[in-house]
Amino acid sequence: MPAAKKRRAPPAKKSEPTEPQPTEPEPQETEPTETQPATTTENPSPPTQEPPQNPPQEPEMPSSSSSSSDAAARAKERMSRFRALQERAKTSSTQNLKEATRESQRLAADPNQLTALSRKHAIASHKLLRAEVEESGGDFERKRAWDWTAEESEKWDRRVRKKESHRDDTAFRDYGRESEKAYKRNLQKMGAPDLERYTRDKLAAVERAAAAGTLEIVETDDGDLIAVDKDGTFYSAAESTTFAEHKPDRAAVDRLVESMKKAEEAALKKRRERMAANKEDDGGDVTYINEKNKQFNQKLARFYNKYTAEIRESFERGTMI
């Protein structure tokens, strides 16, 4: 009997590979550090759930409405400042134009004509007032004096007399009088004296004399202090020469030198102008030393030039024998 064939078993079905279930290790707690935050591993089925940590809140940004209102306020402020600057520039330009117009008008007008017009106006007003007062039968000088006090009237009269005497004294009389007038002019240019410095120097001189024993300070019953000159050497007398020992300071000397330089420059300027005018009158030749000599030469020329014309031309050519 033939041997029975063994039935081959059907091949087993290949099972699809399945992903192995990873076995997660037990959660281990780690202590949080400054650089690493604390973390915990989660179990698939944790027995307890920890509360979720709140993330750090970001700073709240300003709302769009507040930012737009601030921008509008800043724009409004800048616009107001800009308008103020425009107004200021407009005002300054207008003022500059007005001042420039006044300056041009003032320069265009002749100051001498303006002075003459004002003088004529004052004279006309004076004459009109005098005529009105005389027609009414009043005293013009008395009515005019009502506007001034007695002191002002006397001061004005002295000024008028001084002006009249100065007008009469303008002509040359002698060199002494000319020197006196120059001295008075220099005194007027010096200005007011420095009384504070004079008082200070006087007190210093009195203290030095009292310390030296030439002065004695005496107090009166009223409490005033009087300096008594014992031997008569402190206060100047008619024969005293102590004034020559005074030495002015450097500023006073410089002021004197400056005034002398100005006087010399003025004299030279007048001399040059006079010589230029005389050259124009004489045709460029100066044949005189002063005004009297000039007049005498003119008289001689008037009578004898017609006889000496040939001789003078020979002198000019250099052919005179």
Mean pLDDT within 247-267: 87
Spatial contact of 297 and 288, defined as CB atoms under 8 Å apart:
yes
Look at residues 109, 130, 156 and tell me which one is the last residue of a structural domain: 109
- The two most distant CA atoms of the chain are separated, in Å, by 205
Residue 297 lies in a domain: yes
pLDDT at 40: 45
Q: Is residue 128, in this structure, part of any structural domain at all?
A: no
Is 293 inside any structural domain? Answer: yes
pLDDT tens for 137-162 read 888 888 877 888 888 888 988 998 98
Contact 41, 24 (CB under 8 A): yes
Q: Residue 55: its pLDDT value, please?
A: 52
Q: Could you tell me which residues come within 8 angstroms of residue 42 by beta carbon, excluding any fewer than 6 positions away?
A: 27
The answer to whether residue 142 sits within a structural domain is no
Tell me whether residue 167 is in a domain: no
Domain span including residue 224? 188-246
In tens, the pLDDT along 205-240 reads 788 777 877 777 777 777 777 777 766 666 666 666
What pLDDT score was predicted for residue 142?
82
- Mean pLDDT computed over 77-100: 90
| Residue found by looking up tokens 């010399």 in the block | 264
- Specify if 304 maps to a domain: yes
Distance CA 210, CA 229 (A): 9
Burial (0-12, 13-18, 19+ Cβ within 10 Å), 161: exposed
Is the Cβ–Cβ distance between 294 and 288 less than 8 Å?
A: yes
43-63 tens-digit pLDDT: 445 445 555 555 555 555 555
Per-residue pLDDT at 39: 44
Residue 318 is classified by DSSP as: T
Query: What's the confidence (pLDDT) of residue 159?
Result: 92
Whether the pLDDT of residue 29 is over 70: the answer is no
Confidence bin at 319 (pLDDT 50/70/90): low
Is residue 221 situated within a structural domain?
Answer: yes
Cα 237 from Cα 82, distance rounded (Å): 79
109, 131, 164: which is the final residue of a domain? 109
pLDDT reading at 23 higher than 70:
no
Could you tell me what percent of the chain has a pLDDT over 70?
72
Total domains, the chain: 3
CA distance 37 to 31: 8
For residue 307, tell me if it sits in a domain.
Answer: yes
Helix (H, G, I), strand (E, B) or coil at 225: strand
Could you tell me the pTM of the whole model? 0.35
Q: Band of the pLDDT at 36, cuts 50, 70, 90?
A: very low
pLDDT of 34: 45
